[in-house]
Structure 1
Amino acid sequence: MTPTLTISRLTKSFSDVKALDAVSLTVEPGARVALLGHNGAGKSTMMKIILGLIPFESGTVEVCGAPPGSAAARTQVAYLPENAAFHPALTGQEQIAHYLSLRGESPKQALALLDRVGLHEAAKRRIGTYSKGMRQRVGLAQALIGKPRLLVLDEPTSGLDPVSRRDFYALLDGLAAEGASILLSSHALTEVEARTDRILILSQGRMVAAGALADLRRMAALPVSLHVTARNGYASEIAAALPGAIRAERDVRLDCAQDEKLGFLARITGFGDKVADIEVVPPSLEDIYSHFSRRDGQ
């Protein structure tokens, strides 16, 4: 299957600052990929290059098999910035109808696009009355024009309430199921942990980690936390039998290396009815991101 996006040893500098340093990645059709990194890591620079807005010094970039910024690429890629801005005097329907006309599409599709992003009831209201979250949804409706093969989203859930964020990711899931590739930048690590297939971590212009969450956990080799809930009267006995364990009333907690996890679990289950519950807590994406960022000197 031909990748939707292919980047090989991409390098970009601004004066004496190297914004991207030999970065390589691929995004397959239907993949949901999160791009993470501190401010200044190179995320925005990479997105601008993918969209064909700025040139680059060396390396190769192919967007749907075409050079970035070319007519062939532009017809197949869509972009949603963090702060989408629209004419406040236009209604949502008028704004999307205008964009449809610019793309050579029928303006009659406007209501269907707004309905897809949850704005059907507000379609005839002026955008000046919309909340920031509603304006983000107008931006997403605009990005969906022409059924793009690649969506580039910069902090797409900025300004959305929790329910709207859930609905937004459900919409992205549906687009991915239809074959669209999604590359999104976000600082909301808890969100992307559960709703993306692959994670890319940039630091100082370099790709310091890439892969599925399970792959990054293995690469980081961070400890696993075990939370044991003891039945009344047995917490002290269980804690004493587990090296490094800490007792807090009925709870016993300890951290262990990945390769020690099964051994500790066998020891804990050996207590039988003295244990009420066991919770295994793997390193979170926030833990993993912090690990790779610190390793790279951040």
Structure 2
Amino acid sequence: MTTTIVTTDRLTKRYGDHVAVDDVSLTVRPGEVYGFLGPNGAGKTTTLRMLLGLIRPSGGTATVLGHPPGAPAAVAEVGALIEGPGFYPYLSGRDNLRVMARYRRLGDETVDTALTRVDLHDRGDDAFSTYSLGMKQRLGVACALLGDPELLILDEPTNGLDPAGMADMRALIVALAGQGQSVMLSSHMLSEVEEICDRVGVISGGRLIAESTVSDIRGASTLYVRAEPADVALAVAMQVGGDDAARVLDDNGVRIELDAGSAPQVVRALVQAGADVYEVRTSERSLEEVFFEITAESIAGTTQGVSR
């Protein structure tokens, strides 16, 4: 197994004057679930297509399992689902997978294994045209699993699934990584990435604006304080943590950028100031909060650059 599964260096794709992917440099490591997070149109699918050799980059380089994208040695060890799955509607799910398995010179036993892993074994003999959107998506993932590839590249793998199906798909992805497979998945769903990914690359407007573990991107835990009067609580929080370390939340609570060990000091200061303290707890920023913060900063920076 290679030490680096996917590496890109300033990968770029232009369509005329439009830059779909702009100088993206990222790394996917062995055995991890890498979440490629961004809104629709951010450049996620275009990046994945370049990694699979389906389209050529306009600039920059990439390697997949130590080979150029699309090289036979890389293709043999990569399973992929990009956008929607495409199968013969009149064939059963099982027969569709058999067609794909024979293209790859794999035995029929790999088909049954893949169907079982995505919980479609009992519906494998039904025509693909009768499948629900969620079942079609799972069959696409089953196709990607044929041959037990070293790397899975999945574009919005939970698209069309109901809540139970989404939970099952997440569990499957985590299990695959636990068995040593690497998974690179794109998603616009923050909760999905937060639950199952080891590391995250955040893309906006074609640019990679952050790449780290989920915990590092979210930052350290902070104190959440609910006390009245709210203006007194905010004044105390700013006194203890500094002017830039505290802010009022929607429910009149105050978040302070201090660790949990500062809670006694904050409570004493609140009581001495005459505030009534109703709640003090450790609070963690959600990935959703961080995502909107860093994308807003990226957009603001781009706007300033244009104005200059």
Scaled by the length of structure 1, the TM-score of the pair is 0.85
Name stretches of at least 5 consecutive residues in structure 2 with no aligned partner: 238-246, 301-308
State the SS of the aligned residue for 1:62.
Answer: strand
* TM-superposed deviation, 1:159: 0.9
SS at match of 1:296: helix
Alignment of 1:77-88 (within 5 A): 77-88=78-89
State the partner residue of 1:19. 20
1:175 corresponds to? 176
1:206 paired residue number: 207
Conserved 8 A contact 1:98-1:107: no
Cα distance in structure 1, aligned partners of 2:150 and 2:181: 5
Partner residue in 2 for 1:232 = none
Provide Cα deviations, 1:96-149, integer angstroms capped at 9, x if missing partner. 111111110012332221111101111111111111111111111100011111
Give the Cα–Cα distance (whole angstroms) in 1 for the partners of residues 264 and 286 of structure 2: 20
Alpha-carbon RMSD:
2.8
Shift of 1:275: 7.9
Q: Is the 8 A contact 2:263 2:280 kept in 1?
A: no
Do the aligned partners of residues 197 and 14 (structure 1) sit closer, same or farther apart at CA in structure 2, a change above 3 Å counting? same
* Paired position in structure 2 for 1:165: 166
Match of 1:293 among 292, 295, 299: 295
User: In structure 2, what is the Cα distance between the partners aligned to 1:68 and 1:212?
Assistant: 25
Q: What's the % identity of the aligned pairs?
A: 37
Describe the shift of the 1:276–1:255 C-alpha distance in structure 2 as closer, same or farther (beyond 3 A): closer
Report the TM-score, using the length of structure 2 for normalisation. Answer: 0.82
- Equivalences for 1:141-152 in 2 at 5 Å? 141-152=142-153
Q: Which moved more, 1:139-148 or 1:15-24?
A: 15-24
For 1:297, what is the secondary structure of its paired residue?
Answer: helix
Match in the other structure for 1:267: 266
1:254 aligns with 2:281: no
Contact preservation (8 Å) 2:223, 2:263: no
Match of 2:224 among 223, 226, 233: 226
SS of residue in 2 equivalent to 1:19: strand
- CA displacement at 1:12 relative to structure 2: 2.1
- Aligned AA for 2:48? M
Aligned pair count reads 284
Query: 1:206-253 CA distances to partner (integer Å, 9 max, x unpaired)?
Result: 2111101222123xx8x946165xxxxxx65999667369899xx972
CA separation of 1:171 and 1:205: change in aligned 2, threshold 3 A: same
2-side partners of 1:180 and 1:187: how far apart? 23
The one-letter code sitting in structure 2 at the alignment partner of 1:80 is L
Residues 34 and 199 of structure 2 are in contact (CA less than 8 Å); yes or no, is this contact kept in structure 1? Answer: yes
Q: How does 1:31-46 map to 2 (within 5 A)?
A: 31-46=32-47
**Structure 1 unmatched runs, 5+:** 229-234
Structure 2 CA distance for aligned equivalents of residues 81 and 106 of structure 1: 24
